[in-house]
Amino acid sequence: MGDKIDTFLDFNKEGSKFFYGYAVDQQPFVLDALENGSVAYEVAQTINDARAIRPILALKVLPVFYFISLIVAVLFHYGAIQVC
């Protein structure tokens, strides 16, 4: 069960990276667009490796809350969670 949750959260992280860009994975430079071995490539790789951009907490925490809300909503819909 834990592996499936990790897989779902990884999908959520990839979707967040697509939507929010480098704010999620802290890597502002796309190394594929630069010539390998050039000075620009080395500088960009150093910045990406150092994770010089600070993470945005909301983009890391909110997907977990969305996942929990989804599970609770599905369980409530199927009657697994009963309200007194």
pLDDT digits (tens, 9 = 90+) for 16-56: 778 777 777 777 787 888 888 899 898 888 888 887 667 77
Residue 66's pLDDT band (boundaries 50, 70, 90)?
confident
pLDDT, residue 82, reads 75
Estimate to the nearest angstrom the gap between the alpha carbon of 76 and the chain centroid.
27
CB atoms within 10 A of CB 33: 9
Phi, psi of 67 (to 5 degrees): -65, -45
Average pLDDT for the chain? 81
pTM: 0.52
Q: Kindly list the domain boundaries of the chain, sorted by start residue.
A: 2-77
Q: Return the ∠ at Cα 53 (arms to 9 and 63), rounded to 5°.
A: 20
